[in-house]
Structure formats: C-alpha cells, structure tokens
Amino acid sequence: MIRKLSHQYVREIAGLLDAAFEGDGDLAISAAASIESAGPNEISFIGNRKAFSQAGQSRAGCLIVPPGFPNPLGRTVIRAAQPRSAFAAVVARLHPKTPPPPGIHPTAVVSPTAEIAPGCSIGPHAVIGDGARLGPGCVVGAGSALGARVTLGEGCLLYANVTIYADVEIGERAILHSGCVIGADGFGFVSTPQGYEKFPQIGCVRIGNDVEIGANSSVDRAALGVTSIGDGTKLDNMVHIGHNCQIGRHVVIAAQTGISGAVVVEDYAVIGGQVGIGDKARIETRAVVGSGSGILTSKIVRSGEVVWGTPARPLKKYLRQLAAIGRIEELREEVAALRKQISESPASRPTGSPHSRS
C-alpha cells in the first residue's frame, strides 16, 4: 500500500538531497507529479530537453533542475547534479510504501523446520517449505510458494504469486514481482532414438543483494553448478534467464528479452527489450545491446561496445546499413533510368540498322 505524507517543505526536501534551493523554502510540497500536471503544491523535475522547454509553462510549485538551469523568473527550484535520481528520492519520501504488518496469516502453510526471522510478514495462502530461511523483515505475498531450503536475506519483498523452487539463495533487499518463477528446470534434453530425454537439472540459483526482478520473469536453475545474478541487477517484466547463466553486478535487462543457457553478462552491461541471446555468448562490461537485437551463439560483445540489429553489429555499421536499405527504392529508380538511357543511346543500336553508315 502506498500512502502520502501531509507535506514536506522545500527547505526540508533540499536538505534531504543535500542540495541548494532558490525561492520559497517554506513552500509546502504535498506530492510529486509530472511536469505537465504538477500544481502549485507539487514538485517535478527537469530531466531532458522536452521538460526543459516545458518548464516555463509548468505550474509546479517547485522544480528539481540541473545546476546550469536558468531561472530568470525567480521560481522555486532545487539544483541537483542528477535531477531524475533526486526526484526519485523525493517521491519515495512523499509517497512511502506501507509494509504489511508482521506475522503469519492463518491460511499460510509454513513448515515446522522453516526459520522465520522477526518482523516477517507471510501473506494468505503462502507456502514456506522445509528448511527455508527468511531474514528479518521479509514480506511474502499472498499465494507465493517457497520450496525446500530457499534462503531470503533481510528485507526481501515478494509480491503475490511468486514461485521459488528448492535450493535457491536470494540476498538482501531483493524485490520479486508477481508471477516470477525462480529455479525452474533449465531447457536441457538429450536426443535418443526414442525421442528427447530430460537431462537432470540438479544445480541451483544464487541471486545477490538489491536485485529486482519484474513480473512474469523466470530464472532457470543450472543443470550442474549455479545460475547467478549479481548485486544490484534489475530485470524488467517477462525476462528469461536460462540455465547456467552468469549475470554480473548492476546489469539492466529490459522487457521480453530471452537469454539462452551458459551466457555471461558482465558488470554494468545494458540490454534492451526483446533481445535474443544465443547460448554461450558473452556480453562484456558496460556493453550496450540495442532493443530487438539478436546475439549469435558464442558471440562476444566487447567491453563498452554498442551493438544493434540481427545479427548484432556495431551501432555505426548498423546505422550505415540501415541508411543504405532506406535508399534501395531510390537506387532502383536510378538504375532503371540508367538502363533506359543506355538502351536509347546510339552506341547501343545494332550494326546494320537503317541509321548506321553503309
């Protein structure tokens, strides 16, 4: 549940951000809003060129702006090096989430061998398996199921209907949205004369601290060994992480991306939406994979490189090829005109024609 505080004064907000303000420090701010809709007692921010152009027309009582923002009208502003990040901190202060009260709902099924630390909240019809361990302050939403020997670190939040299979380890302050499935079998089969036989998936999943996994995403267990996700990594909705993948720290992966088995994604990489990555590929540190790209099996995207397209290639090359494709119709017309010009030229007429010399 999200509640709203009565108000915060501009000078208090500036103090929270350790930032300087200009204008009315005693203005009471009651809510955060977009720059288009914010009113006199609401705060917004300037985060891009479009917002910059809208600042003059905005009715927001206070704006969080970059250091160089001009203020000829003397508006109430707070200057922050990163306005978007600062605004996020203000939103969290003005609209805090109210955690459910601690305790175990009467309809929940909790194994007698599970260890539930103080301050945990277990929702209706949740299931906690044998030997599971929940750190202090964990929240398990309604209908969620934790298998045997699952470990949650302190302050984890599981929304309704999250499923975690056995032998999964999750660090502190992880957030798992509804429909997540963590630790399901990887896609491993062996071809035999009788058909496909399942290769036993006996590995596990380890997830670090401060990881957030979006709704209906899945992280498969390793066939042997570990599927891992590093600290601070964020997965969008409907992302699939295959068996034995090694996802580094502070990686960002957008929606509808599918990652095949044994892929390595190194720290701070950024992967756009609807990307497909073949097995055993490697995305090195701080590489960027554009939306809709396809990474071939065993392909290596080098550190800091930006790639796009299918198959993925360096962005500059992709843009040149895209521009060339855009000119195909124009080039076709030019070729047709040249063919017509050549066919009508005297040099193209056959010998012995009425127009040739005898």
Q: What is the pLDDT of residues 178-187, one digit of tens each?
A: 999 999 999 9
Q: What is the pLDDT of residues 249-279, one digit of tens each?
A: 999 999 999 999 999 999 999 999 999 999 9
Query: Same domain, yes or no, for 250 and 132?
Result: yes
- Residue 352 in any domain: the answer is no
- Residue 1 in any domain: the answer is no
Q: What is the pLDDT of residues 45-95, one digit of tens each?
A: 998 777 777 788 889 999 999 998 888 778 999 999 999 999 999 998 998
Q: Is the pLDDT of residue 336 over 90?
A: no
Q: Is the pLDDT of residue 234 over 80?
A: yes
- Domain holding 35, by residue range, is 8-94
Contact 35, 58 (CB under 8 A): yes
Q: Is the pLDDT of residue 143 over 50?
A: yes
Annotated catalytic residue within 95, 105, 240, 243: 243
d(C-alpha 99, C-alpha 117), whole Å? 16
Query: In degrees to the nearest 10, what's the CA dihedral of 59, 62, 67, 69?
Result: 20
Looking up residue 19, the CATH number of its domain turns out to be 3.40.1390.10
Output 241-245 pairs: Cβ under 8 A, ≥24 positions apart.
241/217, 242/186, 242/187, 242/279, 243/185, 243/186, 243/187, 243/188, 243/201, 243/203, 244/186, 244/203, 245/220
For the entire predicted model, the pTM comes to 0.84
Query: Same domain, yes or no, for 52 and 130?
Result: no
Is 243 a residue of the active site? yes
Query: Same domain, yes or no, for 166 and 29?
Result: no
1 pLDDT band, cuts 50/70/90, is very low
Contact 20, 79 (CB under 8 A): yes
Residue 358: predicted pLDDT: 42
Contact 64, 77 (CB under 8 A): yes
Query: Same domain, yes or no, for 110 and 250?
Result: yes
- Residue 325 in any domain: the answer is no
Contact 57, 38 (CB under 8 A): no
d(C-alpha 9, C-alpha 209), whole Å? 33
Q: What is the pLDDT of residues 93-118, one digit of tens each?
A: 998 888 899 999 999 999 999 999 99
Query: Same domain, yes or no, for 161 and 14?
Result: no
- Domain count for the chain: 2
Q: Is 334 exposed, middle or buried (0-12, 13-18, 19+ CB in 10 A)?
A: exposed
3 pLDDT band, cuts 50/70/90, is low
Contact 233, 211 (CB under 8 A): yes
Query: Same domain, yes or no, for 89 and 150?
Result: no
Query: Same domain, yes or no, for 89 and 143?
Result: no
